[in-house]
């Protein structure tokens, strides 16, 4: 998977850009607040249709403008596709090869990326929602139809919560509970299947990156079981929680309340982990995602690294860059200073300077 | 600019209320009407008034009709043991076009959606149940839409009808006729596989 070029119009502070990329290493550098992360965000948007900074559509448009546009040519296997996203104040208009898509999920899968950003470190330690988001975004890159299932569940959940708030009787609640059980157990199943596939990659890479002998694990808050049992399990939980749900006016069981626990030596990283362990963990989780995508699609995904060098100590940085160098795929990285790069990167990479929203290809400047 | 021609502006504003019609289309339509012979505009206005004046909902099935009960409800050739429940009159017309169903109908005028404040009392559910209680029906085919709300409405009705001892069926999911599997979206293929049957 290669991003051949990228054109931007009125995207945040990047008013106009037309960039041809290197098929291996792309180093985006410049002072802070010039637009480096905006550029990375635009690339991410092509793969996820969402900002990784939680920004809504209209925040992506330059304040002086009404609309913005992101266009790119990507190569998938041997085929090139033209991807475009028109951004208006009230929505997005994604197109593939000039054709408008019927469903957003059709757009996903044309350009698979894995993002590494220090902002996500807080997810490892923070609220369960952050960890669910990490997991769900990873699944979406392997299975676009997962988006339809998540959207369906979300709709059922909101309808059911509304009824609970209104103190509706059991009879009115029943069809929504049934729909919640059907769609919710399906999402739990998807998540478990994915984690099971990810785990061996994850354990291997955690040891390589961390360089230590610690054993690592991923634990989903619901025990693994076949889909039919998951369905019965969720139905049973909702039955037990029925009284409390009515009191609180909220759905209290389902994939929207599950958690993903990161374990080191069998202990939860949330409670006991050091900063260093949390970083290694996030990197290993992402790296495992990369390895899984390579196995699933016989092609490496594009890696997006946002200001990562500043967050890692030298030893981890070295281990991590070694991991990257051994991949065949395309890499984009942003950095305020020219990062500590090894010779192969300097030799084969391309450098792009971002200054006040202008992007220019340059030769490497050693910082 | 339009403000200087109040009668033109008024028509544009009225037309722009139509579904799928914005200001630009409304203006185009208004210019079209402006250029029509006088009789044409009167015919259109008359048709709109007639529609409002002459149609109402059938007191039995709640389909649109000019006579009450409607022609479908009065047709002795239809199977009075079979009842099809739909969300909107448009859905009824779609099934009628297919000529695949020979029973009677019941239009709910919507689907359950708590977020939009639509509960059972806002739909024609109570008249449906009293219709069923009068007896005679052997099967109820629920043909609500295949949306989250349509599915929930179907489940709700099924539970409500169950004590009456009448068979309840749901329209099958599946692959559209004449389409090739590779072009069908995954959710539809998924449901078609789940709903497979012996041949």
**Chain A residues touching B153 at Cβ < 8 A:** 175
Same domain, A146 and A257: yes
Range of the domain at B113: 67-170
Same domain membership, residue B47 and residue B71? no
Min Cα distance B21 → chain A (Å) is 18
**What pLDDT is recorded for position A120?**
83
Cβ B156–A178 below 8 Å, yes or no? no
Residue A157 lies in domain: 124-275
H or E segment at A264?
A: strand A260-264
CATH number of the domain residue B159 falls in: 3.40.1360.10
Average pLDDT over residues A318-322: 70
Closest-approach residue (CA) in chain B for A171: B156
Lowest mean pLDDT among A139-148, A231-240, B98-107: A139-148
B26 with B101, same domain: the answer is no
**ipTM score for this prediction:** 0.76
- Partner-chain residue, chosen from A103, A149, A166, that has the shortest CB–CB distance to B185: A103
Q: Are A262 and A308 in the same domain?
A: no
Cα B177 to Cα A184: distance, rounded to the nearest angstrom: 31
DSSP A178-203: HHHHHHHHHHHHHHHHHHHHHHHHHH
Rounded to a whole number, what is the distance in Å from the CA of A153 to chain B's nearest CA? Answer: 9
Per residue in B1-53, pLDDT tens?
667 888 999 999 999 999 989 899 999 999 999 998 888 889 999 999 999 89
Q: Which of A149, A174, A179 sits opposite B159 (nearest CB)?
A: A174
User: Is the separation of the CB atoms in A299 and A290 below 8 Å?
Assistant: no
**Would the CB atoms of B159 and A156 count as touching at under 8 Å?**
no
User: How far apart, in whole angstroms, are the C-alpha atoms of residue B171 and residue A49?
Assistant: 34
Chain A environment of B187 (Cβ under 8 Å): 145, 148-149
Do A69 and A10 touch, CB atoms closer than 8 A?
Answer: yes
Does A176 contact B152 at a Cβ distance shorter than 8 Å?
A: yes
Query: Domain of B50: which CATH number?
Result: 1.10.8.420
- Looking at residue A90, its pLDDT comes to 81
**Residue A11 bridge partners (DSSP):** A14, A61
* pLDDT for res B43: 92
The closest of B100, B114, B110, B105 to B84, measured between CA atoms, is B105
pLDDT in tens, A260-312: 988 888 888 777 777 777 878 888 898 899 999 999 998 999 999 888 766 66
Across the interface, whether the CB atoms of A156 and B148 are under 8 A apart is answered yes
Q: Is residue A295 part of a domain?
A: no
Residue A212 pLDDT > 80, yes or no? no
Tokens read off for A234: 């969720």
Is residue A106 domain-resident?
A: yes
Q: B8 and B76 in one domain?
A: no
B34/B85 same-domain check: no
Tokens representing A86 are 């028109």
Chain B residue set in contact with A, beta carbons under 8 Å = 112-115, 119-120, 148-149, 151-156, 159-160, 185-187, 190
Contact B187 A160 (CB under 8 A): no
Q: In angstroms, what CA-CA distances link A251 with A203, A221, A243? A: 34, 17, 11
Cβ contact B156–A148 (<8 Å): no
One domain for residues A149 and A257: yes
CA distance A151 to chain B (A): 10
- Per the CB < 8 Å rule, is A145 touching B186? yes
Chain segment B80-129, per-residue pLDDT in tens: 999 999 999 999 999 999 999 999 999 999 999 999 999 999 999 999 99
Residues in chain B closer than 8 A to A174 (CB atoms) = 155-156, 159
pLDDT higher for B195 or A294? A294
In-domain check, residue B192: no
Domain shared by B46 and B104, yes or no: no
CA-nearest of A367, A363, A358 to A39 is: A358
Q: Which band of pLDDT confidence, cut at 50, 70 and 90, is reported for residue A121? A: confident
Which positions in chain B touch A151 (Cβ < 8 Å)?
none
Residue from the list A149, A152, A162 with its beta carbon closest to the beta carbon of B115: A162
CA distance B155 to chain A (A): 5
Say yes or no for a CB contact (<8 Å) between A166 and B114. Answer: yes
Q: For residues A186 and A97, give the distance between their C-alpha atoms in angstroms, rounded to a whole number.
A: 32
The confidence score (pLDDT) of residue B189 equals 84
Q: What pLDDT, on the 0 to 100 scale, is given for residue B4?
A: 81
Q: Is A140 helix (H, G, I), strand (E, B) or coil?
A: helix
User: Does any domain span residue A296?
Assistant: no
Whether residue A159 and residue B113 make contact (CB cut-off 8 A), yes or no, is yes
Residues 6+ apart with CB under 8 A from B122: B110
CA B173 to chain centre: 18
Rounded Cα–Cα distance for residues A292 and A284 (Å): 12
Subunit contact A168:B159, Cβ cutoff 8 A: no
Query: Is pLDDT above 70 for A349?
Result: yes
Q: Cβ–Cβ of B152/A163 closer than 8 Å?
A: no
Does A366 score more than 60 pLDDT?
A: no
Contacts of A200 (CB under 8 A, 6+ apart): none
Distance (Å, whole) CA A114 – CA A323: 14
Under the banding of pLDDT at 50, 70 and 90, the label for residue A367 is: very low
Task: With CA atoms as reference, report the closest residue to B90 among B115, B70, B110.
Answer: B110
Average pLDDT for A196-224: 84
Residues of A with CB under 8 A from a CB of B: 102-103, 106, 144-145, 148-149, 152, 155-156, 158-160, 162-163, 166, 168, 171-172, 174-176, 178-179
Q: Are residues A107 and A130 in the same domain?
A: no
- Which residues does chain B have within 8 Å of residue A159's beta carbon, measured at their own beta carbons? 113-115, 148-149, 152
Query: Looking at CA atoms only, how far is residue A316 from chain B in angstroms?
Result: 41
* CATH number assigned to the domain comprising residue A326: 3.40.50.300
If one counts the domains in chain B, the total is: 2
Residue A280 in domain: no
CB atoms within 10 A of CB B116: 13
Same domain, A167 and A97: no
Chain A CB contacts of B154 below 8 Å: 175
Mean pLDDT for A104-114 is 88
Would you state the structure tokens that stand for residue A285, as one six-digit string? 């989780």
Q: Helix or strand or coil: residue A302?
A: strand
Structure tokens at A31: 């002072």
- The pLDDT of A6-32, averaged and rounded, is 91
Residue B150 CB neighbour total at 10 angstroms: 21
CA of A312 vs chain B CAs: smallest distance (Å): 41
Measured in angstroms, the CA of B104 and the nearest CA of chain A are apart by 25
- Chain B interface test: which of A175, A178, A228, A251 (most B C-beta within 10 Å): A175
The domain tally of chain A equals: 2
Render the burial of A233-245: b for 16+ CB within 10 Å, e for the rest. Answer: bbbebbeeeeeeb
Query: Does residue A157 sit in the same domain as residue A255?
Result: yes
pLDDT of residue A89: 85
Task: Find the closest chain A residue to B157 by CA distance.
Answer: A175
| Distance (Å) from the alpha carbon of B109 to chain A's nearest alpha carbon | 18
Q: CB–CB of B150/B87 below 8 Å?
A: yes
pLDDT digits (tens, 9 = 90+) for A154-188: 999 999 999 999 999 999 999 999 999 999 999 99
Closest CA to A188 of A264, A133, A244, A254: A254
Q: Which CATH number fits the domain that encloses residue A197? A: 1.20.1050.90
Supply the mean pLDDT for chain A.
87
d(CA A27, CA A43): 14
- Are B105 and B141 within one domain? yes
- Do B78 and B166 lie in one domain? The reply is yes
Q: Is the same domain home to B80 and B164?
A: yes
- Asked, for residue A336, whether it belongs to a domain, the answer is yes
């Amino acid at each position: 998977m290669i991003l051949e070029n990228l054109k931007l119009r009125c995207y945040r502070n990047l008013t106009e850009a037309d960039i041809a990329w290197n098929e291996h290493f792309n180093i985006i550098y410049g002072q802070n607040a010039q637009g480096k992360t905006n550029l990375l965000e635009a690339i991410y948007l092509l793969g996820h249709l969402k900002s990784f900074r939680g920004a809504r559509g209209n925040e992506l448009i330059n304040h002086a403008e009404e609309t913005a546009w992101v266009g790119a040519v990507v190569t998938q296997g041997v085929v090139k596709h033209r991807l475009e996203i028109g951004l208006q104040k009230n929505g997005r208009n994604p197109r593939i090869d000039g054709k408008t898509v019927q469903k957003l999920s059709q757009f996903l899968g044309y350009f698979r990326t894995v993002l590494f950003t220090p902002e996500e470190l807080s997810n490892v330690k923070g609220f369960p929602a952050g960890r669910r988001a990490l997991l769900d975004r990873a699944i979406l890159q392997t299975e676009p139809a997962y988006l339809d299932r998540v959207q369906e569940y979300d709709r059922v959940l909101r309808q059911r919560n509304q009824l609970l708030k209104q103190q509706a009787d059991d009879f009115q609640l029943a069809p929504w509970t049934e729909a919640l059980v059907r769609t919710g157990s399906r999402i739990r199943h998807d998540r478990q299947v994915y984690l099971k596939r990810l785990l061996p990659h994850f354990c291997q890479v955690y040891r390589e990156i961390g360089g230590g002998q610690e054993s690592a694990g991923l634990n989903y808050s619901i025990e693994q079981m076949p889909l039919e049992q998951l369905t019965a399990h969720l139905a049973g939980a909702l039955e037990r929680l029925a009284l409390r749900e009515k009191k609180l006016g909220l759905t209290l069981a389902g994939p929207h309340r599950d958690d993903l626990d990161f374990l080191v030596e069998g202990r939860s990283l949330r409670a006991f982990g050091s900063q260093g362990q949390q970083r290694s963990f996030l990197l290993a989780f992402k790296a495992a995602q990369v390895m899984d995508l390579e196995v699933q699609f016989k092609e490496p995904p594009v890696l997006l690294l946002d200001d990562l060098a500043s967050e890692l100590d030298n030893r981890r940085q070295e281990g991590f860059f070694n991991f990257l160098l051994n991949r065949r795929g395309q890499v984009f990285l942003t950095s305020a200073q020219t990062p500590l790069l090894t010779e192969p990167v300097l030799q084969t990479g391309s450098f792009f300077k971002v200054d006040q929203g202008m992007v220019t290809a340059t030769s490497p400047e050693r910082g | 600019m339009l403000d200087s021609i109040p009668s033109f502006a008024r028509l544009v504003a009225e037309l722009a209320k139509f579904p799928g019609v914005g200001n630009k289309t409304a203006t185009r339509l208004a210019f079209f009407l402006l250029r029509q012979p006088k009789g044409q505009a009167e015919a259109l206005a008359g048709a709109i008034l007639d529609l409002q004046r002459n149609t109402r909902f059938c007191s039995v099935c709640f389909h649109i009709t000019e006579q009450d009960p409607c022609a479908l409800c009065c047709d002795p050739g239809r199977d009075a043991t079979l009842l099809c429940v739909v969300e909107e009159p448009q859905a009824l017309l779609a099934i009628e076009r297919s000529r695949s169903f020979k029973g009677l109908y019941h239009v709910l005028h919507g689907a359950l959606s708590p977020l939009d404040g639509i509960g059972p009392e806002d739909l024609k559910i109570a008249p449906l149940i009293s219709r069923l209680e009068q007896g005679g029906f052997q099967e109820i085919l629920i043909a609500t839409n295949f949306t989250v709300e349509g599915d929930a409405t179907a489940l709700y009705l099924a539970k409500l009808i169950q004590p009456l001892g009448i068979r309840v069926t749901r329209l099958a999911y599946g692959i559209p006729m004449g389409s090739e599997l590779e072009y069908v979206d995954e959710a539809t293929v998924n449901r078609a596989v789940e709903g497979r049957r012996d041949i």
